[in-house]
Structure 1
Amino acid sequence: MKKLAVLPVLLCLLPAMAYAADSAPTPATSAFKMTLGLMVVLAVMAVLAWLVKRFSPGSRQQNSVARVVGGVSVGTRERVVVVEVAGRWIVVGVAPGHVSALANLDPDEALLSQPASDTPAPPFAGWLKRASEKFNAK
């Protein structure tokens, strides 16, 4: 942070250094001054962007009560989503304008169970298959 405190002092001294040069500018000194000015402007913009990103009020990560564990699309605009709330998994059906709870289960129970097939499927896929079979049996 101490290095940033020197920046305004240097910015104030730049015009004085420019006027201290020869009164007859050459093309090389003009190009140098232009390049130096451009670099200063870009540096100031970068510092301002960093400060805005660092200290903006909405940039902090908010702790949410719910966390999306997984989901699968079951139609063009319909999805089945698993949401974790307070250590429980809630299976939710989501459609345009409608959300309905399908099941409420313990995460340990869903992760430990495997489908009865030769190729092991991900835990969520196996649970979803069993849950849909149980739901269709009713």
Structure 2
Amino acid sequence: MSDTPVRDTTASGLEAVSVGTDALVGMATLGKTAAALALVLVIIFAASALLKRLQRHRQPAGGRLRVVSAAAVGPRERVVIVQVEERWLVLGVGGGQVNKLHELAAPPQEAKASSGAGFEAGDSFATRFAKALKHNAGLKDRPGRS
């Protein structure tokens, strides 16, 4: 009689170990799948960020067309000023249509007035940041400071 309960406990012990092993194998598989998915998402986001960065530094084809300014005048309507060679076109954009509102001679290209920190058109972020830090550090002549 004592042999039968021992066999039952041993059998149930082996079942528990095999069920636990199956659960661990399932969790390991789930973990590997989640890690692979995370890796794919990281690659997609890195590639999109790289493409956006490369597109930003790219000059438009021919360099003849440039959006000078744009302003929203409604939920879907905008007024846009576009420079085409030496002309400015004032365009109304909305509802799937583009209408020419006015045409102007483009103002002469002058050297852009530099801001208080002395930014220039070709400055990199690091250069602009350094100039801004120098400019802000020089604000000692404000009232209440010596």
How would you bin the TM-score normalised by the shorter chain?
0.3 to 0.5
Which structure's CA Rg is the greater one? Answer: 2
Task: Give the alignment's TM-score, normalised by structure 1.
Answer: 0.39
- Give the TM-score normalised by structure 2: 0.37
